[in-house]
Structure 1
Amino acid sequence: MNQSLLTHKRKGGFSLIELMVVIAIVLVMSLAIFGVMSTSEGKKRSLTSVNDINQSGNFALFQLEKALRNAGSGFSQSYAQSFGCKLFASQKQAVPGNTGVVLPFPGAAMAEPFKTVNATVGGIYMLAPMIIASGATKPGMSGSTSDALIVMAGSAGYGEVPTAFTNVATSTQLNLQSTLSFNPNDFVLVADEAGSAGSLPCMIEQVDSGYTAGSNATALPLAGTYYASSIKDKGGAIRNLIDFSNNALAMGIGNSAGNPPSFQMFGVGDNNVLFQYDLLQGGAYDTPIPIADGVFEMHALYGVDTNNDGLVDTWIDPSTAGYDYATLESGTVAANNTLLTIKAIRLGLIMRTSLPEKAPVTTGPLVLFSDLGTTLTFTRTLAAAEQNYRYRIIESTIPLRNSLLLN
Structure 2
Amino acid sequence: MNFAHSLRHRQRGVTLIELMVALLVGLFLTLAVYMVMSNFESRRRTNTAGSELDKAGALAMAQIDRQLRSAGSGFAQAASFAYGCALHASKSDQQILPAKDALAAPFASVDPGTLGVFRLAPALILPGQTTPGASGKASDVLVIMASAAAWGGVPAPFTEAAQAAALTLANTLPFSRNDLMLLSDEQPAEAGGVAPCLVTQVSSSATTGSATNALALAGTWYSATVDKTAVTGYSETGTATVLGNAGLGRLPEFVLMGVGDNNTLYTHDLLQTTDTPLQATAEGVFELHALYGIDTNTDKKVDLWVSPTDSKSGYGLSDLSDGSLAAAGKLRNIKAIRVGLILRTALPERDEVSSATVTLFNDINGLTHTRDLTSSERHYRYRTLESTIPLRNNFL
Q: TM exceeds 0.5? A: yes
2:380 matched residue in structure 1: 389
TM-score (norm 2): 0.95
Shift of residue 56 of structure 1?
0.7
2:208 matched residue in structure 1: 213
Shift of residue 136 of structure 1?
1.3
Q: Which residue identity is paired with 1:220?
A: L
Greater alpha carbon shift after TM alignment, 395-404 vs 325-334: 325-334
Map 1:2-401 → 2, pairs under 5 A = 2=2, 4-92=4-92, 99-107=93-101, 109-118=102-111, 120-196=113-189, 197-198=192-193, 200-232=195-227, 238-256=228-246, 257-284=248-275, 287-321=277-311, 322-373=314-365, 375-401=366-392
Answer whether contact 1:89 1:103 (CA < 8 A) is retained: yes
| SS of alignment partner, residue 215 of structure 2 | strand
Answer whether contact 2:112 2:118 (CA < 8 A) is retained: no
**Percent identity (aligned):** 43
| SS of alignment partner, residue 271 of structure 1 | coil
Deviations along 1:356-388, one digit per CA (max 9) or x if unpaired, are 000000013111111111x11111111101100
> Quick one: distance in 2 between partners of 1:231 and 1:244?
13
> Quick one: distance in 1 between partners of 2:112 and 2:123?
18
> Quick one: distance in 2 between partners of 1:188 and 1:388?
51
> Quick one: distance in 1 between partners of 2:372 and 2:169?
58
Q: Which residue identity is paired with 2:222?
A: Y
Q: Which residue identity is paired with 1:320?
A: D
Q: Which residue identity is paired with 1:204?
A: V
Shift of residue 212 of structure 1?
4.0
Shift of residue 6 of structure 1?
3.4
Shift of residue 111 of structure 1?
2.0
Answer whether contact 2:144 2:255 (CA < 8 A) is retained: yes
> Quick one: distance in 1 between partners of 2:329 and 2:81?
12
Specify whether residues 348 and 253 from structure 1 end up closer, same or farther in structure 2 by C-alpha distance, changes over 3 A only: same
Shift of residue 185 of structure 1?
1.2
Answer whether contact 2:294 2:333 (CA < 8 A) is retained: yes
Deviations along 1:183-241, one digit per CA (max 9) or x if unpaired, are 12111101012233435111101111223433311111111110111112xxxxx1111
Shift of residue 21 of structure 1?
2.0
> Quick one: distance in 1 between partners of 2:150 and 2:336?
22
Q: Which residue identity is paired with 1:28?
A: F
> Quick one: distance in 1 between partners of 2:194 and 2:297?
28
Q: Which residue identity is paired with 2:83?
A: F
> Quick one: distance in 2 between partners of 1:324 and 1:281?
28
Answer whether contact 1:110 1:118 (CA < 8 A) is retained: no
Specify whether residues 120 and 271 from structure 1 end up closer, same or farther in structure 2 by C-alpha distance, changes over 3 A only: farther
Deviations along 1:90-114, one digit per CA (max 9) or x if unpaired, are 000xxxxxx500000011x222222
Deviations along 1:272-325, one digit per CA (max 9) or x if unpaired, are 11110111122346x521111111111111001111111111101111223222
| SS of alignment partner, residue 24 of structure 2 | helix
1:96 matched residue in structure 2: none
| SS of alignment partner, residue 27 of structure 2 | helix
> Quick one: distance in 2 between partners of 1:111 and 1:120?
18
Gaps of at least 5 residues in structure 2 are none
Gaps of at least 5 residues in structure 1 are 93-98, 233-237
Q: Which residue identity is paired with 2:360?
A: L
Answer whether contact 1:126 1:330 (CA < 8 A) is retained: no
Runs of 4+ in 1 over 4 A off after TM superposition: none
Greater alpha carbon shift after TM alignment, 379-388 vs 39-48: 39-48
Shift of residue 19 of structure 1?
2.4
Q: Which residue identity is paired with 1:155?
A: A
Answer whether contact 1:133 1:324 (CA < 8 A) is retained: no
> Quick one: distance in 1 between partners of 2:150 and 2:298?
26
> Quick one: distance in 2 between partners of 1:169 and 1:150?
30
The alignment yields a C-alpha RMSD, in angstroms, of 1.6
